Amino acid sequence: MDSCLPRRIRLPALAVLAIAPVLCGGCATVDGTPMQAISVYVADGLDRPVEGMRCRLANGAADHFGTTPIFDVQVRRSASDLEIECRRGGLLARGTAVSRGSALASVMLPGGTAALLIDHLTGYRYAYPTTLRLRIGEHLFFDAAAAESRQRLELALDAR
C-alpha cells in the first residue's frame, strides 16, 4: 500500500485540492494585501502646506500615527471608515476616508459568495483614497469611488 489513507478517502481529498484555486479565484484574501499605503497632507485656509502636525489615523482594525506630511503610511484595510485627526497647538484638521468595497462581480464566479464573505471579514476587499489633503478648521470627507470617477473624467477630457 503506497498511502496511509484508504482509496475512498484519497479521491475526494484530491478533488477538493484540485478545485480550491478555482473557488478562491476572485478572493482578494488570496491574491491581495491586508495593508494600503495612504499619504496625508494638511493645508491652511490659503492652501499652503502645514508641516509638523501630529496625526492619528484610526479604523476598526488599528490606529496609525505620523507627522505631516505623511507619505505612504501602511494602514490595515477595513470595512470601517478611516478617521484622521491632525493637531499642532490650537490647530486642528480632521477628515474621514470612506471605506469602499471592490466590485461584486466575483459573486458570479464559483465560490464567489464564500470569497466575498472572507474578504469582508478580513477587510481585504476594502480600500481608501490614497491621498488625503486635510484643511485646518474643517472636517473633510474623502471617497475613493468619487476620486476614481473624477480621474476617469479627467483622462477622457485629456484624450480629446
Residue 35: all three cell numbers together: 495593508
> What is the pLDDT, as a whole number, of residue 147?
55
* pTM score, whole prediction: 0.64
- Which pLDDT band, with edges at 50, 70 and 90, does 155 fall under? low
Res 144 pLDDT > 90: no
Cβ(81)–Cβ(75) below 8 Å: no
Per-residue pLDDT, averaged over 142-151, amounts to 64
Cβ(138)–Cβ(94) below 8 Å: yes
> What is the pLDDT, as a whole number, of residue 160?
61
> What is the pLDDT, as a whole number, of residue 46?
94
Q: Which long-range contacts (CB under 8 A, 24 or more apart) does 14-22 make?
A: 19/110, 22/110, 22/111
Res 5 pLDDT > 60: no
Per-residue pLDDT, averaged over 99-103, amounts to 67
> What is the pLDDT, as a whole number, of residue 29?
45
Predicted confidence (pLDDT) per residue in 13-41, tens digit? 555 444 444 444 444 444 468 899 999 99
What 3-state class would DSSP assign to 109? coil
> What is the pLDDT, as a whole number, of residue 33?
80
Nearest CA among 38, 144, 142 for reference residue 100? 144
Quote the CA–CA distance of 98 and 140 in Å, as a whole number: 11
Structural domains present in the chain: 7-159 (2.60.40.10)
